[in-house]
Every structure is written in C-alpha cells, then in structure tokens.
C-alpha cells in the first residue's frame, strides 16, 4: 500500500510542472500563430549607385535599406570585392565644414527605411576598380539579423541618381 501512495504522490508532484509547461506552450503557440510574436528583421537593399571615381580616388556608394520585419536590424559591415577596401562612413558637419567619419554600424529600424547619400551615411570605397557610367559594382552588406545581402551599385556621375 505504501508503494501505491508513493507513486500517487510522485504523479501529483509531476503533474503541476507538466501542466504549467503545457499551458505556457499553448499560450506561446497561440501568440505566435496570431502574429503577435512579430516577424524577424528582413532587410532588402535597393537603388544601389556609386559615384564615378576619378582614377583611384575613394568614392561613395549609396543604397536604400528597407526592413520589412518587426524588429530593428543593424548594418555591421560592407565589402566591395573588386576594390581595395570599403567601410561605412557618415558625413559630419562641424562649424560649417563637413568631414567623413568611420562608423561601425548603422541601425535599420523595424518597418523602416534608411536612405544613404553622399551627405549622410554611405559606403566609402577605397581604390575602386576602373569604372564607367552604367557599369555595376558588386557590394556585399552584412546585417546582424538578416545576414549577408549581395547587391550591385550602378555607376553614376556625381549629382545624378540614374545611370545616365
């Protein structure tokens, strides 16, 4: 009789945490199925353009970064395989003079867009390959959540948005 009582006590003791886990799992499943858990960050790279370089002088590449997810993402690195190097940079104006400052990362807000430009955030390209207007420059962007995104930037003359 004592062994039956011990088994019943053990079953009752195990029933409480098992029931709690089942209720929690059911609640999380319903929350996720309803869409309330949100979508992970998902960044697309659009409208890539790079300013026509003068010889081997550094130039700037710009993109539109669109995050369709429900959480922020972060651009943490860039690479231009055919160039001597690339980095994220931001134009900083102090006392009326602009200068370039290297930045480690840039936030792409949830359900938001970042518009790069030569006057704000851009990709500084060092020792670019010989390029002509209309050609495409391959660029690799690395995001903390979205991973690696490969893109191309069309070569434009300074002041132009299209490849003409």
Domain boundaries, the chain: 1-37, 43-156
Question: Over 50: is that where the pLDDT of 14 sits?
Answer: yes
Q: Dig out the tokens for 104 from the structure.
A: 């480690």
Question: Over 90: is that where the pLDDT of 134 sits?
Answer: yes
Alpha-carbon dihedral sign for residues 153, 159, 160, 164:
negative
3-class SS of residue 144: coil
Alpha-carbon dihedral sign for residues 28, 33, 37, 42:
positive
Question: Over 70: is that where the pLDDT of 163 sits?
Answer: no
The lowest-confidence range among 5-9, 38-42, 64-68, 86-90 is 5-9
| Domain 43-156: which CATH number of 2.160.10.10, 3.20.20.70, 1.10.150.20, 2.60.40.1890 | 2.60.40.1890
Which residues are CB-neighbours of 110 under 8 A, at least 6 positions away?
A: 41, 67, 69, 70, 71, 72
């Amino acid at each position: 009789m004592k062994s039956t009582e011990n088994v019943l006590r053990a079953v009752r003791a195990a029933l409480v945490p098992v029931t709690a886990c089942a209720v929690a799992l059911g609640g999380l499943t319903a929350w996720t199925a309803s869409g309330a858990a949100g979508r992970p960050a998902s960044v697309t790279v659009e409208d890539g353009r790079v300013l026509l370089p003068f010889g081997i002088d550094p130039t700037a590449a710009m993109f539109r970064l669109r995050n369709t997810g429900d959480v922020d993402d972060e651009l943490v690195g860039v690479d231009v395989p055919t160039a001597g190097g690339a980095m994220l940079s931001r134009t900083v104006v102090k006392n009326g003079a602009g200068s370039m400052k290297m930045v480690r990362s840039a936030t792409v807000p949830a359900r938001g867009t970042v518009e790069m430009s030569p006057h704000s955030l851009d990709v500084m390209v060092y020792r670019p390959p010989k390029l002509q207007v209309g050609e495409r420059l391959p660029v690799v962007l690395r995001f903390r959540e979205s991973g690696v995104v490969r893109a191309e930037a069309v070569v434009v003359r300074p002041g132009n948005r299209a490849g003409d």
